[in-house]
Amino acid sequence: MPENSHKPAVFHDIIVSKNDILNCSYESWYSLFGAHAYSRAVVLPLPQEFIEYLESDDFTIPGEKSNPNPQKDSDWDYTPPSRPDPASRFSDLHQKIQETFKSFKYIAPKLNWSAPQDSVWILPGRTMKCSSPSDIYLLLKSSDYINHDLSHAFDEADSVPDKLQYHLILREWKEINPSLEFRCFVRDRQLLAISQRDLNYYPFLEDLHDTLIERIATFFDDVLLPKFGSNSFVFDVYLPKPFTKVYLVDINPFARKTDSLLFTWNELATMSPRDDDVVVRLVTQHNSGRFATKAHSQNHVPRDVLDASMDSSKMVEMLQNWSAMLSKESDETEESD
């Protein structure tokens, strides 16, 4: 057996600078490429008080009345004293969010880098579609991805900026067909690879292979390359029918924490650029089972649990249902033994 056949795999280093991370902050790329963004957006600088509110354990949602209809049949007749409205600490911001709702009927919010896709279970429609400031606060406060922006944005970077301004990005909600969202990987100013972003199997994408490369490569050469400040980055685009226009959804750091989707980071860090030949990867009929889980679902909590956590009688009802379900399951197992 050759001596080196058991050499351990070495993960290729991916160097990310502080400026690479800053260039991918929404307000930074939006100021360069706003005309190509998928939707209009209002960018609001965040006061320290709002960041403290997001980081705190205070789950009072501004503008909500405390317990307006206490349950008569509940064993709990204790009504907690109402807490001060947290929005009084960031009233300017609150007002600007309210004003934005006058021009955008619905809003998809995010902070500098991340959208709260992991906390959509908390809104009735289970999407990021917000119709009021409280929807926005609820989504942001429940999201680990938002917490990442506040505490870990520079974890993989070579240094940390001395001062950082956070922004709330209020994107006008526009329906999006997830099958036509693509993530594009750029290393050393070369467009290397394109992956489908939503990992379900969409048979019609195979016929789009050449159109995708042509449209996205042209967008990269004509729009992004001349102006963007980093040599390596990952950009997300949306290409709705009739596939003539490319819309920019986001720009992310070329770093392991950005989801590499149908590629691996080691591949992306080491693959050699092929002249005019970008690698496009799609979910096929053969590998579709591997990606069958719903994106971000590891962070979701069942709606029943959430509702019950806010209402003691629902909690009792839910536990009774669970125990009935469990005893039914164990009866069935015994019968089949």
Q: How far is the CB of 174 from ligand ADP (least distance, A)?
A: 4
Among 25, 100, 112, 114, binds ligand ADP (CB under 6 A): 114
Residues in contact with Mg ion, counted by CB under 5 A, come to a total of 2
SS3 of residue 172 by DSSP: strand
Name the residue with tokens 């997001």.
54
Among 144, 236, 267, 311, binds ligand ADP (CB under 6 A): 236
Q: How far is the CB of 196 from Mg ion (least distance, A)?
A: 16
Tally the residues of the chain. Answer: 337
Residue 252 interacts with Mg ion (CB under 5 A): yes or no: yes
Q: How far is the CB of 183 from Mg ion (least distance, A)?
A: 9
Cα 257 to chain centroid, rounded: 12
Cα distance between residue 146 and residue 116, in whole Å: 6
Report whether 113 contacts 294 (CB < 8 A): no
SS3 of residue 132 by DSSP: coil
Among 70, 178, 203, 302, binds ligand ADP (CB under 6 A): 178
Task: Dig out the tokens for 191 from the structure.
Answer: 């467009």
Q: Which does 20 bind (CB under 5 to 8 A by kind): Mg ion, ligand ADP, none?
A: none
Q: Which does 89 bind (CB under 5 to 8 A by kind): ligand ADP, Mg ion, none?
A: none
Angle at 80 between CA 120 and CA 98, to 5 degrees: 45
Q: What is the dihedral of CA 128, 133, 134, 135, to 10 degrees?
A: -10
Span near Mg ion by CB under 5 A; candidates 104-112, 125-133, 250-258, 317-325: 250-258
Nearer to ligand ADP, 171 or 215 (CB): 171
Among 94, 110, 141, 215, binds ligand ADP (CB under 6 A): 110
Among 44, 46, 97, 115, binds ligand ADP (CB under 6 A): 115
Report whether 98 contacts 130 (CB < 8 A): no
Q: Give the residue among 141, 134, 124, 121 at the shortest CA–CA distance from 61.
A: 134
Residue 176 interacts with ligand ADP (CB under 6 A): yes or no: yes
Report whether 117 contacts 295 (CB < 8 A): yes
Binding site for Mg ion (CB under 5 A): 250, 252
Binding site for ligand ADP (CB under 6 A): 38-39, 108, 110, 114-115, 117, 145, 171-174, 176, 178, 181, 236, 249-250
